[in-house]
Amino acid sequence: MSELSQLNWNRTNLENIEKAWDGDLWDRERLGIQLTNYVDRLQCGAVLALDARWGEGKTWFVRHLKKHLENENHHVIYLDAFANDYLEDPFLTIASEISHAFKESDEIDNQDIEDFNSKTASVLISLAAILPVIAAKAGLHWIGLGGAGEAVQELYKDGKEFYDSISDEITAKVKEHIEKKIENHQIEKETIRDFKNELAQLADKLDKPLVFIIDELDRCRPDFAIRLIERIKHFFDIPKIVFILVMNRDQLLQSIKKFYGYDSEIQGDYLEKFVDFTIQFPSEISNNHYENIIREQLFRIGELSSKEEVNELFFFTLALQLEKKFNAREFTKKINQYALLRTDNDHKNLILLSYMMVGASNYQKYIEKVINKLISYLCPNKSEFLRKHHLSAGMNGIDSIQDEEWYKIILEYDYQIKESFVDKLMTTYKQANRTSDSSSKEYTLINFLKKVSVYEINHSSSFETDWKSYIRQGL
């Protein structure tokens, strides 16, 4: 394999982004700037939801948004909810991340941070007071409390004794702790109020709102996701702190429905009570951006010698993408798959790509459809094209020129690509369909298709079957 055709699957390092929006093929910077301007005005604080389907680049976007916000002098926290859903209660994680952000700021001194941490500990003990007893009874581990587990375990050293004792003694201890919780209810309310007041005072010292991005909410445990959202609303919903919850909203609601039996279609959207504003992630981009995306991807796998080059594979990929509109992850996976399966024959590779991306049962009709869409994109004014290149439409006019001919002359005259292949494929299918004689039809098809079949074939009916089998098997 030549150096040009070597695969380049370097993973994007989202942990250490040097330049915000670098490699922004899907035009996400525009939304990032709009969101930054919106955040700057949210001195009152807010909980925002960023909603997008799987594979549309949510994580890439919020990672670059974090870098962009930091460049704009915001303090930004990024938390992967999925990576933290082994915890029972996310309160400590949220509070710890905020405490660390305060420590990194120049506006808040160490004594204020120590006071905040002290009040955080008080709230955590209040939240966790009954859990060790229940954990002991159920035989659970302490890991669910996160870093507070050891501290709480020290407060309840008799937990192991509870676990080993008889059932009625455990029940009595549980009852005793519940009674203490009732007696201390007012104290706990004051503890929580003091915590929120302290947090509000520290956040107010920041020049710009603190932004807390929570990613992968739709992937983590439904009970953890709900508890996290509830903790944010009940404890951290204060001025100068803006939460951005990143999710596939429909998927998260489905998980909630499955886990809790809560049906948002019947009972109302569960998330609405916690989210102030939902931002729909743009699912489509303008068609001209596809050109840059395809150039980048084909150059990455060695199909283009430079990002300025174009060839028939580039335009055929563009035709398929204009029709299919794969999202970022889907398109990248298709190109990676193509890079693994491609042959040393350019024409066969065009067939390979088309079968990888086409799900239609009628291959010929689908190719005609995508080529028609490409022609409309490349040449919206056919009369102007003919005048520019001093070409004639002939006696029968522009409408008499078939799509395969338009495809050929557009590539040749506008892009200097001669000897194109797809027009010959379309012409062959049309010629075969003009005859009612099955033998003549088969003769026309087999003579052309056998040259671009992935395996040797004796009948045209094997052409599609063999290509699909080759793609399915992966080798």
Quote the CA–CA distance of 168 and 174 in Å, as a whole number: 10
CB 52 within 8 A of CB 58: yes
pLDDT digits (tens, 9 = 90+) for 408-439: 999 999 999 999 999 999 999 999 999 999 99
Q: End-to-end alpha-carbon separation of the chain, Å?
A: 16
Share of residues in the chain with pLDDT > 70 (%): 83
Mean pLDDT, to the nearest integer, of 167-185? 62
Mean pLDDT, to the nearest integer, of 389-407? 92
Predicted local distance difference test score (pLDDT) of residue 31: 92
* Other Cβ atoms within 10 Å of 428 Cβ, number: 17
Weakest-pLDDT range from 117-121, 250-254, 402-406: 250-254
Weakest-pLDDT range from 85-89, 130-134, 297-301: 130-134
Mean pLDDT, to the nearest integer, of 372-388? 96
pLDDT digits (tens, 9 = 90+) for 99-136: 999 999 999 999 999 999 999 988 887 776 544 444 44
The residue among 243, 241, 254, 152 whose CA lies nearest residue 198 is 241
Predicted local distance difference test score (pLDDT) of residue 128: 64
Instruction: Quote the mean pLDDT of the chain.
Output: 85
Predicted local distance difference test score (pLDDT) of residue 365: 93
Mean pLDDT, to the nearest integer, of 41-47? 91
Predicted local distance difference test score (pLDDT) of residue 395: 82
Quote the CA–CA distance of 179 and 357 in Å, as a whole number: 64
Predicted local distance difference test score (pLDDT) of residue 6: 53
* Other Cβ atoms within 10 Å of 267 Cβ, number: 10
Predicted local distance difference test score (pLDDT) of residue 319: 96
Question: What's the burial of 134, exposed, middle or buried (CB within 10 Å: 0-12/13-18/19+)?
Answer: middle
Q: Which amino acid is at 437?
A: D
For the chain, the domains span: 28-128+175-280, 287-474
* Other Cβ atoms within 10 Å of 139 Cβ, number: 7
Quote the CA–CA distance of 168 and 155 in Å, as a whole number: 22
For the cut 50, the answer to whether the pLDDT of residue 143 exceeds it is no
Predicted local distance difference test score (pLDDT) of residue 151: 46
Predicted local distance difference test score (pLDDT) of residue 136: 44
Reduced to 3 states (helix: H, G, I; strand: E, B; else coil), residue 247 is strand
For the cut 80, the answer to whether the pLDDT of residue 282 exceeds it is no
Mean pLDDT, to the nearest integer, of 364-392? 95
The residue among 445, 455, 402, 454 whose CA lies nearest residue 425 is 445
CB 213 within 8 A of CB 78: yes
CA distances from residue 432 to 339, 364, 405, 436, 453 in whole angstroms, order as listed: 32, 11, 17, 9, 17
For the cut 80, the answer to whether the pLDDT of residue 406 exceeds it is yes
Radius of gyration (C-alpha) of the chain in whole angstroms: 31
375 or 473: which leads in pLDDT: 375
Predicted local distance difference test score (pLDDT) of residue 100: 93
Q: What angle do CA 245, 60, 302 make, to 5 degrees?
A: 160
Reduced to 3 states (helix: H, G, I; strand: E, B; else coil), residue 215 is strand
pLDDT digits (tens, 9 = 90+) for 205-245: 999 999 999 999 989 988 899 889 999 998 999 999 999 99
pLDDT digits (tens, 9 = 90+) for 260-279: 776 655 555 778 888 999 99
Mean pLDDT, to the nearest integer, of 32-59? 91
Q: For 369, list phi and psi in degrees, rounded to 5.
A: -65, -45
pLDDT band at residue 21 under the 50/70/90 scheme? very high
270 or 404: which leads in pLDDT: 404
Predicted local distance difference test score (pLDDT) of residue 145: 44
Quote the CA–CA distance of 322 and 116 in Å, as a whole number: 54
In total, the chain counts a number of residues equal to: 475
Predicted local distance difference test score (pLDDT) of residue 396: 86
Predicted local distance difference test score (pLDDT) of residue 177: 61
CATH of domain 28-128+175-280: 3.40.50
